[in-house]
Structure 1
Amino acid sequence: MTNKGLLLTLSLTGSLLLTGCATEPVSVTAEQLADQFDNDADGVINERDKCPDTLPGATINNDGCPALISSEKKNDLIVLFEHDSSVIDAVQKVEINRAVQKLIQNPQLMIVLEGHASASGASDYNQRLSKARAKAVRSAFISKGIASNRIDIKPLGESKLLLKDETLQAESLNRRVTAQFKLMDESTDLKWHIYSMEPHRSGV
C-alpha cells in the first residue's frame, strides 16, 4: 500500500472512531442535576448543603449552616443623639427605616436595643437618659409596624462607653443606641450592618 493510501485509511478510521464517541449517549439523571442547584441561595450547592433552609442573609460555614454567635455580637445599627436629648433626627430615621425593612422581610428576627449615655453628669440621670433613648428608637420601630414583642430594650447608662476620653468626638459617639438582630430563639450572624456615624454638633 502506498503512503497516500495508508494516510487515507488512517483518516477514515479516525473519523469513524470520533463519530462513535460523539454519538455515545451520556446518562445524567434529574437527581444529579438537582444536586448542583442551590435552593436556599446560600452559596453552597444542595449536594454539600447540610442546612437546606438557611435564613436569607445569614453568614454560613462550609456545610451551608448558619454561624451561631454569642449575644455580644457586633452592632447592626447605631443611632446617635444630641447632648441631653432622646430625639431622633432625620438622618438617623433613614437608618432605622432600613432596619425596619430587614425585620419586615425576616419575621423570625427580633431586635435588641441598648441605650447609652456619655459620662458627663450624674450617673442616675444618664441611666434614665439612656432608657429614654432606647424607648425612642423602640417607638420608631413600632410606629413602622414592628410588633413590640420583637423589640427588647436594655438601658445601660454610662456603663459601656464606646470611647472613654473626654473629647467632643468621644462624647458624641457615646450618646447612642446600638441594635443587634437576633433570631427569636437563637443568635445567628447576619451579613447586614448599618453604621450611622454622621457628624453631630459639638457638645456633651
Structure 2
Amino acid sequence: MKYVVTGLLALSLFGCSLSVPQPPVAKQTKNLFDNDSDGVINQRDHCPKTPIDAVVDNNGCPTYVDSSEENKIHVLFANDSSVIPESYMQNISDMSAFLSKYPKTHIELKGYASPVGNAAYNVALSERRASAIRQALINDGVTPSRIKTVGFGDTDPVKALDVEESNTLSRRVVAQVIGSQGNVVKEWTVYTVREN
C-alpha cells in the first residue's frame, strides 16, 4: 500500500506540466498623464489647470480659503460746503487702493447734511458732497461705473451732546466696502518660507 501511494504521488508529480502560462498583457485604456503635476491623472482631474503648489482634493481641484476685509470712508465737511478738507484725502486714497485690490467691488457714497436751512437745499448739498468724494476716487483711478452716490439731506442727523456738535458730525459722506477673494491653499515644502 505504501508503494501504491508513493507511485501515485510520483505519477501525479510527473504528470503535471512544469511550464507556467504567461500572464495576460494589460492594455492601458485610460490617459495616465498628469499635465498640471498635481498628483491626479488627467482622466480623473476635474480642475486641469491647478496652480503648481496648491493643495488638491481627489478630483484635482485646489482648496480655497475665503478671505475678506473691509474699508470705510468717513469725511466731515464745513457748513454749507462740498469742498473736501485736506485732512481726509488720505482716507480717500486708502479707499482707492482698496478698490484697486478688489476690482469686483462697488461703492455707494452716502451724503448727508446738518438739519439747518431748507430741506430741499440740504438734499442737493448732500449730493454735491457725495459727488465730490466720487470725483476724488475717480481722480485716483477708480472706474466711474463702480461708484454710486446718494444724497440723504438732513434726514439722519448724528446724535451728540449738543446741537452744534450734532450739526458738525451730520455734515458727512460715509461708505463701507467689503472686499473678498478666494486664495488657494498652498502645500508645505522644504522650500516654504513663513510669511510674517
Q: TM-score, normalised by structure 1?
A: 0.54
1:57 corresponds to 2:69: yes
How far, CA to CA, are the matches of 1:114 and 1:137 in structure 2? 10
User: Mapping of 1:70-89 within 5 angstroms?
Assistant: 76-89=72-85
Which residue of structure 1 lines up, in the alignment, with residue 119 of structure 2?
123
User: Mapping of 1:102-113 within 5 angstroms?
Assistant: 102-113=98-109
Higher strand share: 2
1:157 corresponds to 2:169: no
Which residue of structure 2 lines up, in the alignment, with residue 26 of structure 1?
none
How far, CA to CA, are the matches of 2:153 and 2:159 in structure 1? 14
Unaligned regions of 5+ residues in structure 2, if any? 1-37, 40-54, 58-62, 181-196
> In 1, are the aligned partners of 2:108 and 2:149 still within 8 Å (CA)?
yes
Task: Report which of the two structures shows the higher radius of gyration computed on alpha carbons.
Answer: 2
1:146 corresponds to 2:158: no
Deviation at 1:57, TM superposition (A): 2.8
Partner of 1:171: helix, strand, or coil?
helix
Q: Give deviations 1:11-53, integer Å, cap 9, x for gaps.
A: xxxxxxxxxxxxxxxxxxx99xxxxxxxxxxxxx999xxx825
Alignment CA distance shift 1:129-1:165 (3 Å) = farther
Partner of 1:124: helix, strand, or coil?
helix
Alignment CA distance shift 1:108-1:158 (3 Å) = same
> In 2, are the aligned partners of 1:111 and 1:182 still within 8 Å (CA)?
no
> In 2, are the aligned partners of 1:77 and 1:179 still within 8 Å (CA)?
yes
Instruction: Specify the code of the residue in structure 2 equivalent to 1:57.
Output: E
> In 2, are the aligned partners of 1:142 and 1:148 still within 8 Å (CA)?
yes
Partner of 2:84: helix, strand, or coil?
coil
Q: Give deviations 1:136-156, integer Å, cap 9, x for gaps.
A: 000000011101110011100
How far, CA to CA, are the matches of 1:153 and 1:165 in structure 2? 29
User: Mapping of 1:1-204 within 5 angstroms?
Assistant: 52-57=64-69, 76-163=72-159, 167-182=163-178
> In 1, are the aligned partners of 2:126 and 2:152 still within 8 Å (CA)?
yes
Partner of 2:142: helix, strand, or coil?
coil
How far, CA to CA, are the matches of 1:103 and 1:112 in structure 2? 12
Deviation at 1:168, TM superposition (A): 1.6
The alignment of Structure 1 onto Structure 2 pairs a total of residues equal to 123
How far, CA to CA, are the matches of 2:142 and 2:133 in structure 1? 12
Please report the RMSD computed on the Cα atoms of aligned residues, expressed in angstroms: 2.7
Instruction: Specify the code of the residue in structure 1 equivalent to 2:151.
Output: P
Q: Give deviations 1:70-121, integer Å, cap 9, x for gaps.
A: xxxxx82211000110000111111111111100111011111000000010
